[in-house]
Structure 1
């Protein structure tokens, strides 16, 4: 039987392979496994824009002083077949992170959520501006959606009252969220807020959730005092029940600001303005909110104080508190005190 002889050279092949494998392993570790993220703080939030190429990302990381070795970053990205344009977004880098861990996170699209907070907003344009400043959402896309009557009607809203769907709060979203995804997220939050109890309260008032939010926006513009908010809401509810005009100064000011800019005083001639926001002439509530009412103010309306007041006016000490009256003569006496105080302070038009 023939028996192959094993030469010394043949015996060395496994050893050479083992050594080569070890060297490759060491090289890979040096390229991908050693720390490459260097920061002057524990965490850095990195925004990768849409259509960003690998070399543009390298420039971005270098500009923001996030990595110490650009070459090893590119090698690791090549090994892992990473394309930044496939997974744009906001990512959280931590000091000491290696190339392997960082690129696997980026390639997997493991984004870090962005927190969005909006309040004290009086228009769709302001809302959109606040939202798009925090994420990669296109301004025109969201604004177009909020002005689309057909799309909004499917959810029970109109371009005039759509702001009532946005309950002021802090929301977590991903940088790559689309306009429709953002809309649906806000609608889901709206539905959670309007639970069975709140819906029953609104129904007992003869108002829809949209009406309650519109009324709450007016009450919020009248006062920051939670106790008075419920009383003022009660005044407006009493007027609505009696089919009286609500005669809201904040709603009229909201209208006049759109036309004349900032103003501090409403004059009698302003009450003749023809507009659905002029509640001195129009019956019922205006077609939309005049600001973003907080959940506290919405609940103040839903839990309005039951009384027989039909009028109220600001106190002359400018404390932000109000006088409440049952009849018009009594109201005029108190209102004149406030007018005199305005004149004394030379608050004019």
Structure 2
């Protein structure tokens, strides 16, 4: 009997030990699945699209090696009821983040906004491409909005000058925000930018806010140096006031749709296009690029002078020689043309 009891105790002890070991293993697995470091250093963000299902998210996580063990990720996700609570967005990944924290962020929709900054944008197509690169919607969705007359009019613009509504700056916008809401956000920022003071200055020079931005785009196209913008703006305002053609070379380049032109020639001046200010009086119907805040403020705070001519300096410093008379201007122009010839810049 005693031998049987000892045998029973021994078996019981072995079973107990096995249970302890199994329990410890299960606890370790549970800890690793929920609380252990899971996120790798392979990606900076996890993008969950609006149409994604849990299987899509799991595929992305696996394909991009976002977590060390996709099976653990799946188990924790199902335990935390994430498959029924998919929220699209751009989620920041931190190396060593646990599955519990990652899935908590995904389930709660705690995404990180895109810090969207833009400047030096020439065409609507360039802007649409940049938007498509930074947000969930593709560039085609954005260009469609930018080219729709009824949408432009709903914001108080024409389809030609609609581009002036987008003030270059840094904006925080969620990645999965719908294109129409992103455009609406830019309109809100446009209204904030155009303060009562700026509007009063625009009225004082007999320009609408859109016209200020159109002129500012020409100023930006001419100026390589911000400190010269007020002088250039003052010159163009003088020409507008006198009813003269603006004769701005950047508008000719835009009208010819050839941005490789370094030397504007007579053949370029003949193009019949409303953006060619050598042929059409006044401002063009829209901007030739997105103006910068500096160029807009340069128009509103332009330098008052009597110059109506300017020509790039022959030292290629990016600055200009200004003139009050055509005779003075021709002297400056010949110097610059000679410098172009010496450098064999013929087009």
TM-score range, shorter chain: 0.7 to 0.9
Corresponding residue for residue 313 of structure 2: 315
Q: Verify the 8 A CA contact 1:52 1:84 in the aligned structure 2.
A: no
Corresponding residue for residue 346 of structure 1: 344
Name the CA distance, whole Å, in 1 between partners of 2:311 and 2:93. Answer: 55
Name the CA distance, whole Å, in 2 between partners of 1:95 and 1:59. Answer: 19
Name the CA distance, whole Å, in 1 between partners of 2:84 and 2:127. Answer: 30
Corresponding residue for residue 34 of structure 2: 33
**Larger deviation, residues 72-81 vs 244-253:** 72-81
Q: Verify the 8 A CA contact 1:238 1:310 in the aligned structure 2.
A: yes
Note the C-alpha offset of 1:276.
0.6
TM-score, normalised to structure 1, is: 0.87
Name the CA distance, whole Å, in 1 between partners of 2:290 and 2:317. Answer: 23
Q: Verify the 8 A CA contact 1:53 1:85 in the aligned structure 2.
A: no
Name the CA distance, whole Å, in 2 between partners of 1:107 and 1:192. Answer: 34
- In the TM superposition, what are the counterparts of 1:133-144 in structure 2 within 5 Å? 133-144=133-144
Note the C-alpha offset of 1:174.
0.9
Name the CA distance, whole Å, in 1 between partners of 2:184 and 2:104. Answer: 30
Corresponding residue for residue 70 of structure 2: 70
Q: Verify the 8 A CA contact 1:138 1:179 in the aligned structure 2.
A: no
1:262 to 254, 260, 263: 260
Note the C-alpha offset of 1:239.
0.8
Corresponding residue for residue 145 of structure 2: 145
Corresponding residue for residue 173 of structure 1: 173
Note the C-alpha offset of 1:28.
9.5
Corresponding residue for residue 222 of structure 1: 222
Name the CA distance, whole Å, in 1 between partners of 2:72 and 2:271. Answer: 69
Note the C-alpha offset of 1:94.
2.1
1:178-199 deviations in Å (ceiling 9; x for gaps): 1111101111111111111111
Note the C-alpha offset of 1:261.
5.6
**Larger deviation, residues 73-82 vs 302-311:** 73-82
Name the CA distance, whole Å, in 2 between partners of 1:218 and 1:150. Answer: 26
Aligned length: 325
- In the TM superposition, what are the counterparts of 1:84-233 in structure 2 within 5 Å? 86-233=86-233
Note the C-alpha offset of 1:92.
1.2
**Larger deviation, residues 233-242 vs 135-144:** 135-144
Q: Verify the 8 A CA contact 1:233 1:305 in the aligned structure 2.
A: yes
Note the C-alpha offset of 1:217.
1.0
Q: Verify the 8 A CA contact 2:238 2:308 in the aligned structure 1.
A: yes
Name the CA distance, whole Å, in 2 between partners of 1:269 and 1:139. Answer: 34
Name the CA distance, whole Å, in 2 between partners of 1:226 and 1:125. Answer: 26
Name the CA distance, whole Å, in 2 between partners of 1:31 and 1:323. Answer: 71
Unaligned runs of 5+ in 1: 1-22
Corresponding residue for residue 329 of structure 1: 327
Q: 1:85 to 1:291 in 2, by over 3 A?
A: farther
Instruction: Provide the secondary structure at the position in 1 that maps to 2:217.
Output: helix
Corresponding residue for residue 271 of structure 1: 269
Name the CA distance, whole Å, in 1 between partners of 2:58 and 2:267. Answer: 63
Name the CA distance, whole Å, in 1 between partners of 2:203 and 2:84. Answer: 51
Corresponding residue for residue 9 of structure 1: none
Name the CA distance, whole Å, in 1 between partners of 2:235 and 2:313. Answer: 16
1:24-55 deviations in Å (ceiling 9; x for gaps): x95895375322423248x8311123433323
Instruction: Provide the secondary structure at the position in 2 that maps to 1:46.
Output: strand
Q: 1:118 to 1:211 in 2, by over 3 A?
A: same
Name the CA distance, whole Å, in 2 between partners of 1:77 and 1:123. Answer: 44
Corresponding residue for residue 287 of structure 1: 285
TM-score, normalised to structure 2, is: 0.87
Aligned alpha-carbon RMSD (Å): 2.3
Q: Verify the 8 A CA contact 2:120 2:292 in the aligned structure 1.
A: no
**Larger deviation, residues 272-281 vs 45-54:** 45-54
Name the CA distance, whole Å, in 2 between partners of 1:84 and 1:174. Answer: 22
Note the C-alpha offset of 1:255.
1.3
